Structure 1
C-alpha cells in the first residue's frame, strides 16, 4: 500500500463493529487499534492495563473532577487525551490503520486519506449478538446494550462538537443488521476501494 489509509469506525454496541474493523484491517493488511491502545499506553506509562480499562471511553465525572490551569484530576479525561495523542502520533507518522471509536473521526478530521464510518444495528439484532458474545439473558443483554450505548454517546459528545452517530459526521453510516457482518464488510470495502480510486490514492 503506497498511500496512507486511515479508517475511523464508530459503532453501536452489539452492531458487530469491532469484528467488521478486524476484517477491514486484515483485508488491507494494516494495524487495528481498539482496546490494545491501552496495552501500549500502560507499558509506556508503567501502569496496570486493568486500571486504564476502567476508564476507557467514559466521560469524566463532573462531581469528582476539577481542572486547574489546564490540568485535570479526572482519570477518564486523562486517558481519553492520551489516546487522542496516540492516534494523532500514528497519523503524523504516516501509518495506515483502522481505529475503533475513541472520537477518531473528530480527532483526525481534515486529514487526507481518512475514511470515517459508523456502524449501527437493529435493537433485536444487537441484543441477540450480545446474548451470544457475553452469554447473557435477553433482559441482561438489552440492559447491557442500552448502558454501553449511553456511555459511548456521553463520552463522544463530551469531547466532540459533532454528535455521536449523526450520519452527517461520517462518510458512510451503515446498518449491519441488513446484510450481516460479511455483507456489511464487503459493502464497506467496495466503498473504501472506490474512494481510493476516485481520489487517486495509489
Structure 2
C-alpha cells in the first residue's frame, strides 16, 4: 500500500503536529497535567493527546465487538496509544493513519510495549479523507478527536465507509457517547435519530450522518 499524497493544507497540519509530538516526547509534563486534570479516569499507558479516558476505551471495546486476529484501523492515530491499547484488548491487529510522520514513528516504537508483534501493528501516512488503505480493508475503525476538526467531513465519512469490510449485519459507523470527536464501528445498525437542536429534526449533524452510513457492500 502506497502512502497517499497529502494536500498542502494537510502537509502544513502535519508539520504542526510533528513539532507538537516531538516536543511532548522530550518531557513528562504534558502527561502529568492530563493525569492531574482527569485523575483516576486518565489511562496513563495510552498517553493520548485527546479526551480519551477509561470510560471511552470501554465504550469503544463494547461497540467494536471484534474477533481475535481482525484488523482495526485508527484514523488520526497520533502516537498510537488508543489503537494499540484496543488492539491488545481485542487481540486484533491495528493500522494507524495520521498526517504526522513524527507521531507515526513514535507509535511504531510503542507497539512492543503493548505486546503486539510487528505484523500486527502498522502505521502509515494519510488523512481522514485519503487514508491510502484498500477498500474493505478494516473489520473495525475508530477516530478519536479528529473528525470534528475535519473541514470536508462528508469526504472523510465516505473514506471511512470505503475501507470498512462489507459483510451482512455490519459494520456501521456511529459516534461514541460522551465524546463529540470520537467515532467507533459497531456490528449492529444505528437508528436514524432527529437532531434535537433543530426544529423538526431537519439538517442532520455530522455525527448523525456518521451513524446512518450504510453498510459497505
Please say whether Structure 1 and Structure 2 have the same fold, judged by a TM-score greater than 0.5.
no
TM-score by length of 2: 0.28
Flag the structure with higher helix content.
1
Larger RCO, structure (CA 8 Å, separation 6 or more) = 1
TM-score by length of 1: 0.30
